[in-house]
Structure 1
C-alpha cells in the first residue's frame, strides 16, 4: 500500500471517530503509506443561514509526516450551482497531484462522493458506517445518496460494513461485504484519569456522542434530565426510606448538531450540554460518570449501527442504561441495563442507587466478557489492512 485518499463524513479534529482510529493505526503499521484525508466541504452560505461563523475550507494541510487533510468549499446550493460537486472533485484531484499521488486508492465513507471514483477511475473502497438510506433527509439529498451508493456497491473494488446488519441489508447488491466493526483503545480507557473540572459534583448520568436527532431521543433526554433534577425534592418528601431517589446531573458530552430550540429544551430541563471534548479528555468524563446513558431512538437507521460508544462504555466498566438499540441490546446483562423509553428514566434512577460510583476504582472486565469489552482498535486496523492490501494486489 502506498497512497490513500479518505473521503470522510467528519473532519480530522480532536473528536476521534472510526476513520481517525483506523487511519492512524494504518499509518503506524505501514511506513510507506501516505494519506490525504478529505473533510466534508465547508458551506459558508448554509453557516450564515444558521447564524454560525462561516468557514472557507483549506488546501492540503500537514497533520503528520505522512498525513494531510483537505477541506473543499461548496460556495452555492446545488440547485443554483449544478457544477459544485465536479469542482470539489477537481480540487481533490489537484491536491493529490500536488502531493505526488498519481494512482491512489479511494476510501469512501460518503456515498455522495462516488463521482470522484467515476471521474478518476481510481480503485475505491466503500466503507459503510451508517445506512443513510434509512435516515431522514431532503428528497434531493436522498437521491444523491441512493445513486452514489448504488454505483459504489456495484463498482467499488471492495466494500466494508461496520455491522453485520449493514452487511445483511446491502448484501443483495453486494454479496462479498467484509465486516470490520468498531473498537476502543483499551489501554487508554483502562488507565485512570482525573475527574474533569467541569463535571458537576455529585452523581452524574452521562451521554457521550454527537447530539443529533438521527440517534438521540431528545424528548427522552428532556424527561430524564428533568426527573433527575427534581429528585432532591422527591427524596426530601419521601424521607430517607423507601421511595427516596438520588439527585443527579445529566451531562451531554460531544459535538452538538441539534438546533437551537432542542438545545434550549435540554438546558431548560437541567441537562448540562458541554459540547465536544478532545479524544484524550473524554476518557475522564466516562470514568467519573456514575451511570452512562444511551437514550437513542429505535429506528431502521439506528438498527444499522455498531455504536462506537458501546466499546468505550464497556472499557470503563460503568453501569449503562440504554434503550433497546443494536449493539447494546446484544450485550445486555451485567453492567448494561436495557429499558424501553417509557421505563428509561426509572431505570436510570435505579442504576444511580445501586451501581458503582464515579469515584470508585475501575474494576477489571469479568471473565467471559462480551466481545465488545475486548475489541481493541489494533485488531480492527489489522482487519482493515487486510481488505486494503487485497484491493492493492488486484
Structure 2
C-alpha cells in the first residue's frame, strides 16, 4: 500500500480499509509505505530534519503481530536536483517488500508518485483515487509530473477505485472505475463520550479534519472566529500543516487550534460541538472529494453549517445548512446560541439518525475486497 498519509493515530481511509481487510482475512499481510521523509524540506521550513524510518511492525487490535508492517523512505534531494529521486524511492520500496517476504505482491497505489513503483516492478496494481491532484494548486513542474504519473496509473492499473461521484465522472470518462465512498465507524461515533478537557468552555463551533490550504478557506475561518467573538469559539481539530504566518493570523483572530487527535478521541469533539462547520474553499479540487467528515458529522447528529462543497451541498439532512462565504460567519454565529439547548446523546429527540450500515467502514471493506479479488483473479482464489 503506497499511502498519501502515514500510519499514525489519525486514521483516514487507508487505515480503515487496511485494518478491516486484515481483520477479515487471517492470511493477509500488508506493507504500508508512508510518504517519504524530506529532511532538506524540513530544514528549509524551520522544522527539525528527520530521516525516514526503517521497516517496523505495527500493532493492530485483532491482528496477529507481524502481519502489518510499515516503512517510511527518505527523499534526500528535491526532484529538480535529483532526476532519479522517484526511481530511487521505488527501488527502496521494492527492497522493503523483499525484506518483508513478499515475492509476488499486489500493489495498492493511493499516492500518484507510486507510478514509479509500478513502472519498476510490474506488480498487479490497484489505483485508489481519493483526491484529484491534477486540480490542486501546484507548481508547473509538479503538475506536469502528476499528469505523467496519473496517465501511467490509469493505463496500467488493472483496477481503479474512486471515492466520489465527481471522480467517477472525471476519471471514468476514459476507463472503467469502481466507486467506493468513504464511511464512518457508525457504532463508535454514536457511543456518548465525555466533553474533551481541551475544548474551550462555552459554545463551540467545531471543525474536524486537516487544516490545509488545499481545502480550508483561512480567510473565512478568520471572519467566522471574529463573528463568534464574545459568544463562543471556532475550534479546529486536526493536523495543521500551515506556515507560521497563517497560524499566527488564525490564532490572532481567536481561532483555537487543537492539533491532531487520536482517532478514539474524535467522536467526543464532534458530540460536544454546538455546531459543526465546514469552512472549505469551493474549487475543482474540493469538488473531487468525498469528505470523511460528511459521514462523521452525520453519525453524531449535530447541526452543521457548510460552504457549498461536494457532499454537504447535496445533503438532504435537515440539520445541514449550506451558506456561501459571504453569509457563512453570520450563519455560524446565529447557530451557536440556537443549538445550546440540544442535548448530547444518541437517537431520540436529538435526531441522531444515521443512514445505517451502508455508511459503515465494514461495507467499504467488503467492496474493496471484491476489487482485490478481481485483481488477483480466480486462479489464485482471491486474496484469502
TM-score range normalised by the length of the shorter chain: over 0.9
Within 5 Å, give how 1:48-87 maps onto structure 2: 48-64=43-59, 65=65, 66-87=67-88
Gaps of 5+ in 1: 1-5, 233-246
Gaps of 5+ in 2: 60-64, 379-384
Please give the per-residue CA displacement for 1:140-173, whole angstroms capped at 9, x wherever unaligned.
1111111010111111010000011101101222
Mapped to 2, the partners of 1:372 and 1:78 lie a distance apart of 46
Which of the numbers 306, 319, 322 marks the counterpart of 1:338? 322
Is 1:111 aligned with 2:112? yes
Please give the per-residue CA displacement for 1:248-291, whole angstroms capped at 9, x wherever unaligned.
11101000012111111110000101110100011111111110
Within 5 Å, give how 1:185-264 maps onto structure 2: 185-229=185-229, 232=230, 247-264=231-248
Mapped to 1, the partners of 2:349 and 2:295 lie a distance apart of 12
Please give the per-residue CA displacement for 1:348-393, whole angstroms capped at 9, x wherever unaligned.
1222122255753233599996748950000000011100111011
Within 5 Å, give how 1:1-394 maps onto structure 2: 6-64=1-59, 65=65, 66-174=67-175, 176-229=176-229, 232=230, 247-355=231-339, 357=341, 360-364=344-348, 371=355, 375-393=359-377
- Match for residue 62 of structure 2? none
Range with bigger deviation, 58-67 or 35-44: 58-67
Check the 8 A contact 2:276/2:303 in 1, yes or no.
Answer: yes
The 1:357–1:96 alpha-carbon spacing in structure 2 relative to 1, beyond 3 Å, is farther
TM-score (norm 2): 0.93
SS in 1 for 2:126: strand
The 1:108–1:271 alpha-carbon spacing in structure 2 relative to 1, beyond 3 Å, is same
Please give the per-residue CA displacement for 1:177-226, whole angstroms capped at 9, x wherever unaligned.
00000000011100011111110111010111101111100000000001
Mapped to 1, the partners of 2:164 and 2:187 lie a distance apart of 24
The 1:372–1:209 alpha-carbon spacing in structure 2 relative to 1, beyond 3 Å, is farther
Q: What displacement does 1:340 show? A: 0.6
Mapped to 2, the partners of 1:363 and 1:322 lie a distance apart of 23
TM-score (norm 1): 0.91
- In angstroms, what is the RMSD of aligned CA positions? 1.8
Mapped to 2, the partners of 1:356 and 1:261 lie a distance apart of 33
- Match for residue 243 of structure 1? none
Mapped to 1, the partners of 2:158 and 2:258 lie a distance apart of 41
